[in-house]
Chains A and B, each alone.
Chain A
Amino acid sequence: GQNIDQPTEMTATEGAIVQINCTYQTSGFNGLFWYQQHAGEAPTFLSYNVLDGLEEKGRFSSFLSRSKGYSYLLLKELQMKDSASYLCAVSYNQGGKLIFGQGTELSVKP
């Protein structure tokens, strides 16, 4: 497979910053997506990276290093509602299908 790896779970405090890492196989890489998913609900789009560097969108930022096969999602000013699973997904070659990592379950504590 494409060996997309991310931590299984993380815990952080309300108001803090958390970084969720993702590593992936680089061969055939086309782009990397981050999705947020609450239990039983559909994944919702957070960010997309295809070039090296940082993409910022409000409280969420995502970074990509294509040579290292590495990305992270940075969440600032954490809120209780940010407790969810965060999925790293990679698009390989052409076709547009997404290969998902196993997801990182983030728990935000008061």
Chain B
Amino acid sequence: AAGVIQSPRHLIKEKRETATLKCYPIPRHDTVYWYQQGPGQDPQFLISFYEKMQSDKGSIPDRFSAQQFSDYHSELNMSSLELGDSALYFCASSPQDRGELGTEAFFGQGTRLTVV
């Protein structure tokens, strides 16, 4: 079965550079969530999109932006990178927003970003 696809799997950037992470949700999933997981920490919710519109916003820095495109894939754009941005970035998709019963979020394998 198709899963959530994230690219790239690994990314190394220098401070103050920009990075773009991509997420391709499971077919027919219209909701995408982005999470950041630092070393030894739990995943922290960044932002979500439903039907190409931002549906919720968490602890996402102003230096980051994201969008969902007409084919439902999403991109997380990160500018002026800092050392503290080094983390695993997970994308998850689900078939519907509104937190309805049984809506499980399926996670991609993540992008490991290292800022040096």
Contact = CB atoms under 8 A, between A and B. Distances in A.
Nearest to B103: A96
B22 interface: no
B64 interface: no
B97 A42 contact: no
A21 B112 CA distance: 29
Given A43-B43, A96-B105, A98-B35, 19 more contacts: A31-B99, A33-B105, A35-B107, A40-B112, A41-B109, A42-B109, A42-B110, A45-B106, A91-B99, A92-B99, A95-B48, A95-B98, A96-B31, A96-B48, A96-B55, A96-B56, A96-B96, A96-B97, A100-B43
Interface residues of B, number: 32
Contact of A40 (B45, B88, B105): B88
Interface string A27-53: 000110101000011111100101000
Interface residues of A, number: 26
Contact of A96 (B35, B43, B98): B98
Given A96-B33, A99-B45, A44 B101 contact: no
Interface in B88-116: 88, 90, 92, 94, 96-110, 112
